Amino acid sequence: MTTQFDHWIDGRKVRPEGGEHFPTFDPTRAVPWAELAKGNVADIDRAVESATRAQRAWRRTSPAQRNRLLSAMADLIDREAGRLAELESRDVGKVLRETRSQMRALPTWYRYYASLAFQQDGRVIPHDRASIVNLTTREPYGVIGIIAPFNSPVLLTSMSLAPAIAAGNAVVVKPAETASTSVIRLAELFAEAGLPDGVFNVVTGLGAEAGAALVAHPGIAKVFFTGGVETGRRVAAEAGLHGKPTVLELGGKSANIVLPDAADLRSVANGIVAGIYAAAGQTCVAGSRLLVHSSIADELVDLVAARTEKIILGDPADDRTEMGPLAEPNIVDNVERRVDEAITAGARVRVGGSRLDAPGWFYRPTILTDVVNDMAVAREELFGPVLAVIRFHDDDEAVAIANDSPFGLAAGLWTTNIGRAHRMAAALEAGTVWVNTYRALSYASPFGGRKASGYGRENGLDGFAEVTVTKSLWIETSEESIDDPFILR
């Protein structure tokens, strides 16, 4: 028996205009578990109309009103964190322990941006002519379109949704076709919190249909896209044709670099394992390349391998499970193909390297040693549980290998030498560098990529700046008459 979900438009559930639903699968059992509304151009039109209407009033609400509402939304997420976590686990196969901890962190995004609603201030800019008053204000864009990926749908949606709403925008979200149910539940919760109808709308459906219609819609002022590189570039090109700005949060092939002076290698090994196998490798910041100094490589790889072999695969709802299935069967196929190719090219399997013989879409946590940086397993984002180990001999070589990548999302450094950490962090082409930790994320710290990993920033003040646009206001205070119309003052 599957559960049916509809769109969320104008503060209520709305059946799809085309009358169709499509199945979404439980990856643990490889069976359909829910049906989502198949959104089309007409559904997007309806959602954007509702958002446009709502935004006219929403942008005029006081900072105090927006602050109160976002705080109420945070309280309801707190209350419903368990249910949201269950929906997400079911949709994407992430272990419940992991989705629960993510949902517990989520309300703070809303509380943080609730506080920034009070700080949407501008500047007074001195002008050569003393009688001129020039000031800037930060205004909401209008209606913002958010296109979300399947991994962490509620958190990743919230990273642009919370600031967008706090700044006075309305939003239409198109979540991933494999992971929409938690985002729909979020919309229901926000309605319960008192968010006015139409400020937040969710249209589910296929990327090429509902997603493309959202990007092309003239009522959408800016698009926040999180997903794969190829899709992101297509979205940015389409948005560009319509003259719209975009923020692109794309993939990565992040290097986790371990220097010979790293502290306790057992603890480093745990950091490496958490960096790659969380969410079965399906995180954009997965530390999928382990760059290790040759002098400690054998010892560290032994430690990482010993922990990896113990990873408990299984049902994400079981509290003992450490890694669930992959979200889609085509990801398993791609991981399998790329691992086999790497083996043919000379890489060696230290751990894993195969599917699990189970009904769901499981692939064993895998370590490949003897990887060369030009192999596909070192260059392409697999979005699966595969760690590619590469040795280096000095700091410059480590930085060169890390930067020899199309991507520039994140990197990790493990060292006890603070000067070395600063020098290497400065040389790494990555939006985020972690030293002696990995995958730390905060509502207050800017997050985003370079190179093929995208552009623009989410979270923190940078994320707030992305949802507003500057207006420069000029006032001539002198009462002198304008004598010469051709002389600019």
Q: Which residue has the tokens 């949407």?
A: 120
* Minimum distance, C-beta of residue 207 to ligand NAD, in the bound complex (Å): 2
d(CA 423, CA 64): 44
Instruction: Tell me if 146 contacts ligand NAD by CB under 6 A.
Output: no
d(CA 141, CA 466): 9
Instruction: Tell me if 150 contacts ligand NAD by CB under 6 A.
Output: yes
Quick one: DSSP state of residue 279? Answer: G
Answer for which of 84, 148, 332, 375 binds ligand NAD (CB under 6 A) is 148
Instruction: Tell me if 228 contacts ligand NAD by CB under 6 A.
Output: yes
Q: Exposed/middle/buried for 420, CB within 10 Å: 0-12, 13-18, 19+?
A: middle
- In the structure encoding, which two tokens stand for residue 467, read together? 């949802």
Instruction: Tell me if 147 contacts ligand NAD by CB under 6 A.
Output: yes
CB count within 10 Å of CB 148 equals 29
d(CA 85, CA 124): 45
Instruction: Tell me if 383 contacts ligand NAD by CB under 6 A.
Output: yes
Examine the residue annotation and report whether 49 is marked as an active-site residue of this protein. Answer: no
Strand ranges in 399-486 using DSSP code E only, listed in sequence order: 407-408, 410-414, 432-435, 450-451, 454-455, 468-476
**Interface mask toward ligand NAD for 409-438; x: CB under 6 A:** x-----------------------------
d(CA 44, CA 57): 21
* Minimum distance, C-beta of residue 307 to ligand NAD, in the bound complex (Å): 24
Examine the residue annotation and report whether 380 is marked as an active-site residue of this protein. Answer: no
First to last CA, the chain: 72
Instruction: Tell me if 151 contacts ligand NAD by CB under 6 A.
Output: yes
* Active-site pick, 209, 249, 458, 466: 249
Residue whose Cβ sits closest to ligand NAD: 207
Sheet with strand 3-5: strands edge to edge: 3-5, 31-37, 21-26
- Length of the chain in residues, anyone? 489
# residues contacting ligand NAD (CB under 6 A): 31
Instruction: Tell me if 449 contacts ligand NAD by CB under 6 A.
Output: yes
Quick one: DSSP state of residue 2? Answer: P
> Which parts of 168-227 interact with ligand NAD (CB under 6 A)?
174-177, 207-208, 211-212, 215, 226-227
* Minimum distance, C-beta of residue 410 to ligand NAD, in the bound complex (Å): 9
Residues forming a β-bridge with 455: 248
* Active-site pick, 88, 209, 284, 328: 284
Query: 175 or 325: whose CB is closer to ligand NAD?
Result: 175
* Minimum distance, C-beta of residue 461 to ligand NAD, in the bound complex (Å): 18
> Which parts of 251-280 interact with ligand NAD (CB under 6 A)?
251-252
Residues of this chain that interact with ligand NAD (CB under 6 A) are 147-151, 156, 174-177, 207-208, 211-212, 215, 226-228, 231, 234-235, 249-252, 284, 381, 383, 409, 449, 454
Question: Would you name the residues annotated as active-site residues?
Answer: 249, 284
